[in-house]
Structure 1
Amino acid sequence: MNVIEARTPSILSVRAAQAGGCETVQEIIDIAATAEAFAVTLLGEALAAAERGELSLNDEAIGTLVAARAAEQAHFDVLTEAGAEPLTMTFTVPDPELLTNVGLFLETLVALEEAFIAAYTAAAQEFVILGEAELAQLALQIGAVEAEHRAGARFFAIQAGALTGVPNDVAFERALFGSVGEAAAALENLGFIGGTGTEISYPGPGEIDPTGVSDLPL
């Protein structure tokens, strides 16, 4: 099997999805909006922890996360304007060290971004099957930005000694999920939705600062 086949859904899986039926547009955008709300909230909590001196992020990392949070908020706004209704606005932090151990935080952030990329890859595939070309384009646009966030998080994780290698270490992003619902289930399994950890609520602490972020929705 070549690299592209290994990294993307096969033609057979696409045809199986067509035969078995996709998630609805509403289900897809509701889950996506929930994930974006979670991202905005978690980044807000991390930035607040850094401001309190509890999470050792340097100024460059803080600036990068501020911009990433603004982008996630823009994604949330576009999705909700399209009719998305988040499934929850309250989330949980499964491990309190996530907001005090910079290596753990950055490594977790990389993994979360990989899940978001895969979720939007699945969303784009489903939108194509459903004949929703504009939504497929939107999913690809958002997924591309999530890939930028992954590389940025990897850069700082490598800098902190939590990961090794280079920030841009993949030729093809991984298609981890066959549906967007699988991505939501992964967040639940990791304890970020409906878990037993500390509750955090959207949008999290602090103002969302879009300074330096372009192509924001009007």
Structure 2
Amino acid sequence: MQDLRQSIKNCMLCKAHLPLGPRPVVTFNSTSKIVIIGQAPGTKVHASGIPWDDASGKQLRSWLGVTAEEFYDERNFAIIPMGFCYPGRGKGGDLPPRPECAPQWHTQLWEVMPNVKLVLLIGMYAQKYYLKKDAKKTLTETVDNYQEYLPRFFPLPHPSPRNRFWLTRNPWFEKEVVPELKQSIQSILTNSIQDGD
């Protein structure tokens, strides 16, 4: 596992395409129970090196019903984005995650995390990559049909403040889906404590 951590830290695969240079932001442990797969770090996370260290992270922790301490405990959560480094900025915000990253690293990471109970797929890139043909035509449809993907996957919208419009248009998400999400998370974390993890 230490070798894998070092290999990821030293990764230069996309160096030529990264405006701020490589700084992979990923956390994992052999005992991680829940994996969070988002898009890629933003500039704030690139600067701090701490995943979800921004307004999106605060919103995500609220949806999950966990404290920052629980969230950053690698025994609970592994945080593995689709792209480990900040990809740069485009016209409408950050660029998509670099396509080289997930095929290079994700399979190796699954091999060292045998205890995963749930994978949170945050946003369209993670959902398309992992759900493949089972993903619906839109993110909204995929999230609305989240029960189809359980118990392995739980698809979610991105918790970015920019997504407020989506949340306003889809009040069912925070009313119906978030309580189910919190329950799933608490069940896994509670069982982990009882099992002595």
TM-score (norm 2): 0.30
Higher share of residues assigned helix: 1
Larger Rg: 1
Higher share in strand? 2
